[in-house]
Amino acid sequence: MGDFWVTTLSAIRGGSPDWAAIAAYEAPIRRYLARRFPRLPLAERDDLTQDVLLAMRERIVPRYDAEAGPFRAYLTTSIANAVRMHLRRRRPTQPPDLELPAEPSAREVEALDLEARIVRAVRRVHDRYAHGSTQDLQRVYVLSGLLVSRLTNAEIAAREGLSPDQVKRTLQSLRGEVLVALFAELAPDATPSELSQLAELARACLRSPRRERRLLEGQPHAERVAGFTRAVREAKHALGADADEGSVDLLRGIEAIFQ
């Protein structure tokens, strides 16, 4: 079940900030490898995932900037190189039944970035409330009920002793916070008020694609919102065609957040 959504960043790798910077990429990379190399045993894909994360830790973290071109270029080559090295190591004992891979396409890397951003944004909202008051913890339980347990609003209400209307309002608030956390990365120069406006604008565009052009007219960050909504739609399309359980889990999470 999708517990990767709410694994606290502080618990990852003993709280190391270097690992926290790349931790959100673990699940997206694992899913990418499952899609690309379904014949590799699960244990080998797990090893590959760790190899890629180690490469990111050693090369990317010292100059970490997810917006920079070199970051994406290195992520692209680190995935391909890790797979090549792994396949070459296994050939002395196993037949070369898998072709050496080409580098991931620009679209695949963009999807990896989007997945990692969404996971990171959810974790930030989760961490904001995870050590707070009873009321704060209730928000955590509602969020995990949606994304981890895949419960309906009515089921969450019954489990937490809330009314369905309370759950609905809480989820509306949490969805807004997740989008604000996303746009805090995408538009670091925006004010808190502008981030809230961007979050609402993105949700409106995703709910009403035919009205998107009109909704974005004259908006100061229209290009960023348009790029984000395009990436979300492409990711949903790609994941919707994928039977991998982890991808289905992510797709349901995306739909739950952006509905």
Residue spans per domain, the chain: 3-258
DSSP3 helix / strand / coil % (the chain, rounded to 5): 75, 0, 25
Q: What is the pLDDT of residue 251?
A: 53
DSSP 45: H
First-last CA distance in the chain: 20
Whole-number Cα distances in Å, 163 to 125, 139, 153, 238? 22, 14, 9, 36
DSSP 17: H
CA–CA gap between residue 192 and residue 68 (Å, rounded):
23
Q: Residue 7: which of 22, 24, 32 has the closest Cα?
A: 24
pTM above 0.85, yes or no: no
DSSP 25: G
Cα-to-chain-centroid distance, residue 186 = 14
Q: What is the pLDDT of residue 158?
A: 95
Q: What is the pLDDT of residue 165?
A: 95
CA–CA gap between residue 19 and residue 241 (Å, rounded):
31
Q: What is the pLDDT of residue 249?
A: 52
Q: What is the pLDDT of residue 10?
A: 44
Mean pLDDT, each 10-residue run in order, the chain (259 residues) = 46 55 79 81 86 76 54 73 79 56 72 81 86 88 85 93 94 88 86 89 88 92 88 70 50 58
For residue 87, give both structure tokens. 């396949």
* CA atoms 196, 136, 9, 147: torsion sign: negative
